[in-house]
Amino acid sequence: MKKRLEQLKENALLKIKSADNLSALQEVRVAYLGKKGELTALLKGMKDVSPEERPIIGQFVNETREALEDLFETAKAQLRLAELKVQLEEEVIDVSLPAKKQKTGHRHPNTIALEEVERIFIGMGYEIVEGPEVEYDYYNFEALNIPADHPAKDEQDTFYINEKVLLRTQTSPVQVRIMEGAKPPIRILAPGRVFRSDEVDATHSPSFHQIEGLVIDKNITFADLKGTLATFAKELFGADTKVKFRPHHFPFTEPSAEVDVTCFKCGGKGCRFCKNSGWIEILGCGMVHPKVLEMSGIDPEEYSGFAFGVGLERIALLKYEIDDMRLLYENDERFLRQF
């Protein structure tokens, strides 16, 4: 038995030395020390050893097991070190290469402009509200005093999903929904994305953003509208900014007006930016049409109000002197990095 154990130890040593990787070494370990290994098989022959020799042979078996365990652990450590050396040689890191820079994002010029507009109107007591971009024809047109035969409802101008559902062309439907569900006084600002069937060019896009405001209360007059927009213009473009109202027509307001502000580049003297007129058009507005109030469940004899709407992109283009709307959507980092 003793000679067999010595022979087993010698054979195991040869196999351990010949193992050139950790996987091969593990196979040798299982072959000799596993549950079905050669050392375990020898132990089964202990029943043939005389009682007197069993303690001696048992001790030798334990010594052989411990010796093999030590040999395996030593070989394992050597193979791990060798594999690590190879890995380090193959995965060389060139410390002279420049590090990868972490690019930090920032707010889009549209977002910067929107947050400034919201800040101004929140300061005047307005609440920011939102509504669905996929809207019913009723809220987008009918409830805003735009009849079925109105040119704005032409499929060439509006993205229809079916005859009753469309992509909203303005954020005015949000105003109608608020008027239906809330009791005056109402003072809201409704920003959001809108859609129109326009060709893409320097000043048009099939998808853009609008900011619309609405005030409903008792004894609201055009003077309130004028004062509100004058305050807004001064806050946005500078304290010396003046406003000018030009008569216009919108189906949902009466009377209606287009609003111009003095050019913030030349102060109204005339320059290339304002096409030498001294004025820049920024938004449309008017007193809420009595029929719109009535359809929304508000008594036009008791309440009145005003509404206004401005294109967010127009604000951004004017404020940052951008001459092409497409720059806002092309994701050119050379442009966006400026903000």
Quick one: how far is CA 72 from the chain centroid?
55
| Rounded Cα gap, residues 324 and 175, in angstroms | 30
d(CA 306, CA 314): 21
Residue 98 lies in a domain: no
CATH of the domain at 150: 3.30.930.10
Per-residue pLDDT at 199: 84
- For residue 195, is it within any domain? yes
Let me know if residue 141 belongs to a domain: yes
With respect to residue 308, please indicate whether it lies within any of the assigned structural domains: yes
Q: What is the pLDDT of residue 307?
A: 96
What's the rounded Cα separation, in Å, for the pair 77 and 100? 35
Asked if 308 and 213 count as a contact pair (C-beta separation under 8 A), the reply is yes
The confidence score (pLDDT) of residue 312 equals 92
159 and 235 in a single domain? The answer is yes
Specify whether the CB–CB gap between 260 and 274 falls below 8 A.
no
- Domain shared by 239 and 332, yes or no: yes
* Beta-sheet pairing, 186-195 with 127-128: parallel
Residue span of the structural domain in which 73 resides? 2-90
Determine phi and psi for 43, rounding to 5 degrees.
-65, -30
Q: Is the pTM of this model over 0.95?
A: no
What local confidence, expressed as pLDDT, does residue 14 receive? 80
SS3 content of the chain, % helix, strand, coil (to 5): 45, 20, 35
Answer whether residue 276 is part of any domain: yes
Cβ contacts of 190 within 8 Å, gap of 6 or more = 128, 129, 130, 131, 171, 172, 174, 175, 178, 211, 212, 213, 214
Report the C-alpha gap between 33 and 11 in whole angstroms.
Answer: 13
Positions in the chain whose pLDDT score sits under 50? none
Query: Looking at the domain assignment, is residue 100 inside a domain?
Result: no
Model pLDDT, residue 46: 63
CA distances from 337 to 72, 107, 109 (A): 61, 10, 10
For residue 69, the model assigns a pLDDT of 81
> What pLDDT score does 147 carry?
82
